[in-house]
Amino acid sequence: MADIDDATERSTTNWAKKVDRLTLGSAPAGAVNLNVEGRRLTGPLQGFGTMWQKTYRVRLPRDVVEPRALIATWKERFPEFWPGGNRFYAPLTGIAPGEVALLNLALPGRLTLSTGVMVLYADEESFTLMTPQGHMFAGWITFSAVPAGDDGVMAQVQVLMRASDPIFELGLMLGGHAQEDRFWQETLTRLAAAHGLASASVQTTVICVDRKRQWSKWRNVWHSSAIRSSIYTLGAPVRLIRSRLSRSPGN
Amino acid sequence: MAEATATFDVRRQGSACVVDIHGDVTAGSEEVLMRAYADAGDARAIVLNFTGMSYMNSGGIGLLVTLLVRANRRSQRLLAFGLSDHYRQIFELTRLDEAVGIHESEAAALADVSGATVTRHG
């Protein structure tokens, strides 16, 4: 009976509550909130492109950190471990089930891609982020830490994803996959460095789960955060002029 | 790596295979789940029985996506029954319910499978 109660409690507290669409409230200072509010969540089944499972791992000595302590630190200082030029605006309450975070990611051509994620699941050993419509990919990213042998801890990032639309699929094929690999490798390198391991080696394993593209999902391009972020960037001068006019005397 | 904390027992029911799940379904369950799927062979549908499942984390949901892809590749349907209200909501949240047929009972799931058979041959 106690086991059943424990499982029920874990189920309730570790998973996000069901939502139809994301709501954010007010965006943190400096963050661009273009592609999150009102969006639906998308898993790997809703994406367009080939489905990939990418796993990035780094081994840390257990005398430095235990798995649960590592996950606690990762949740608490999540934005610090992101590669430079990219911003993760963590929820005020931290990484907790149901919380929504804004992401401003650096793209080639000095573009900033505005998107977000929702914390789908979080316990003491792992947490998972799920993407909204318009994100580069539809899927989940799971961060976890498990014992490795007698004296190690394996910190892991696992991405299960499909490119959201045909444009992102093309982008991933033309260097986006390599860029994403570098992103998570650097994240793990930074996590390891924060635990005193200056030159950690990150293992990368990429598995093609489903080669098929879901052509019925090509319309996802309508929500593309890349297109919407680009339009927003191009409209910056107009917004600046409007804001100055509205502040000028007599208005 | 993570240890398996769930069991998956396969039994044949007509043209479908029912997989009875017990315990905690996590990423560590991958090997046993895929072995159960292999045991299901050429069944027209795989019916997952969640009645005995005590817990599932996000790794477990990821495994179900992989299972679904494999089943689709072999033109097999994936159905489920015995989900608690909470896990039914998780299926809706993760949008697995759009690809996995969810039913109230084993009888309803098997009726759906046989109904699909009638439709295909009719």
The SS3 call for residue A56 is strand
The reply to whether A241 falls in a domain is: no
Return the percentage of chain A with pLDDT > 90, whole number. Answer: 64
CATH of the domain at A27: 3.30.530.20
**A149: enclosing H helix or E strand:** none
The reply to whether A113 falls in a domain is: yes
Note the helical H segments in chain A.
Answer: 2-14, 67-76, 166-171, 177-194, 225-234, 236-247
The reply to whether A244 falls in a domain is: no
To the nearest 5 percent, what fractions of chain B are helix, strand and coil? Answer: 50, 30, 20
User: Do B86 and A142 count as a contact with CB atoms less than 8 A apart?
Assistant: no
Please give, rounded to a whole number of angstroms, the shortest distance from the CA of A203 to a CA of chain B.
Answer: 15
Give every residue of chain A whose pLDDT is below 70, as ranges: 1-4, 248-251
Residue-range domains of chain B with CATH: 6-113 (3.30.750.24)
pLDDT score, position A22:
92
pLDDT tens-digit map of B53-64 = 999 999 999 999
The reply to whether A95 falls in a domain is: yes
Is residue B118's pLDDT more than 60?
Answer: no
The reply to whether A9 falls in a domain is: no
pLDDT tens-digit map of A52-75 = 999 999 999 999 999 999 999 999
Tell me the backbone φ, ψ of residue B76, rounded to 5 degrees. -100, 145
Token representation of residue A205: 């394993």
pLDDT score, position B115:
82
Is residue B116's pLDDT more than 60?
Answer: no
Q: Which residues of B touch A45 (CB under 8 A)?
A: 65, 68, 95-96, 98-99
Please give, rounded to a whole number of angstroms, the shortest distance from the CA of A105 to a CA of chain B.
Answer: 24
Residue of B nearest to A213 (CA): B69
User: Which residue out of A4, A5, A11, A216 would a mutagenesis test of the B interface target, given it has the greatest number of B Cβ atoms within 10 Å?
Assistant: A11
Angle at A182 between CA A105 and CA A213, to 5 degrees: 80
pLDDT score, position A198:
87
pLDDT score, position A139:
96
pLDDT score, position A128:
97
Tell me the backbone φ, ψ of residue A20, rounded to 5 degrees. -85, -40
Query: Mean of the per-residue pLDDT values for chain B?
Result: 91
Q: How many domains does chain A have?
A: 1
Which residue is listed with tokens 């409690």?
Answer: A9
Strands A126-132 and A152-163: unpaired
Q: Find the domain containing A110 and state its range.
A: 20-214
Count CB neighbours of A212 within 10 A.
13
* Helices vs strands, H then E, count in chain B: 4, 5
User: Do B86 and A128 count as a contact with CB atoms less than 8 A apart?
Assistant: no
Tell me the backbone φ, ψ of residue B40, rounded to 5 degrees. -70, -20
Cα–Cα dist B118/A250, whole Å: 76
Q: Which residues of A touch B99 (CB under 8 A)?
A: 45
Cα–Cα dist A98/A120, whole Å: 6
- Considering only CB atoms, which residues of chain A are within 8 Å of chain B? 3-4, 7-8, 10-12, 14-19, 41-46, 51, 53, 120-121, 123, 126, 128, 130, 140, 142, 144, 146, 154, 158, 160, 209-210
User: Do A19 and B93 count as a contact with CB atoms less than 8 A apart?
Assistant: yes
Cα–Cα dist A57/A204, whole Å: 7
Q: Which of A43, A46, A126 sits opposite B57 (nearest CB)?
A: A126
The reply to whether A157 falls in a domain is: yes
Is residue B91's pLDDT more than 90?
Answer: yes
Please give, rounded to a whole number of angstroms, the shortest distance from the CA of B84 to a CA of chain A.
Answer: 10
Is residue B7's pLDDT more than 80?
Answer: yes
**B12-26: string of b/e by CB count within 10 Å (b at 16+)?**
ebeebbbbbbbbbbb
The SS3 call for residue A197 is coil
Give me the residues paired with residue A114 across strands.
A104
Return the percentage of chain B with pLDDT > 90, whole number. Answer: 87
Tell me the backbone φ, ψ of residue A249, rounded to 5 degrees. -55, 145
User: Do B65 and A12 count as a contact with CB atoms less than 8 A apart?
Assistant: no
The SS3 call for residue A41 is strand
Exposed (0-12), middle (13-18) or buried (19+): which is A89, by Cβ within 10 Å? buried
Please give, rounded to a whole number of angstroms, the shortest distance from the CA of A210 to a CA of chain B.
Answer: 7
The reply to whether A155 falls in a domain is: yes
- Considering only CB atoms, which residues of chain B are within 8 Å of chain A? 1-2, 24, 27, 54-59, 61-62, 65-66, 68-69, 72-73, 84, 86-87, 89-90, 92-96, 98-99
User: Which residue out of B3, B58, B66, B97 would a mutagenesis test of the A interface target, given it has the greatest number of A Cβ atoms within 10 Å?
Assistant: B58
User: Do B65 and A45 count as a contact with CB atoms less than 8 A apart?
Assistant: yes
Q: Which residues of B touch A53 (CB under 8 A)?
A: 66
DSSP of A110-145:
GEEEEEEEEEEEE-SSEEEEEEETTSSEEEEEEEEE
pLDDT score, position A230:
80
User: Do A209 and B24 count as a contact with CB atoms less than 8 A apart?
Assistant: no
Edge-to-edge strands, sheet with B45-56: B6-13, B16-25, B45-56, B77-81, B101-103
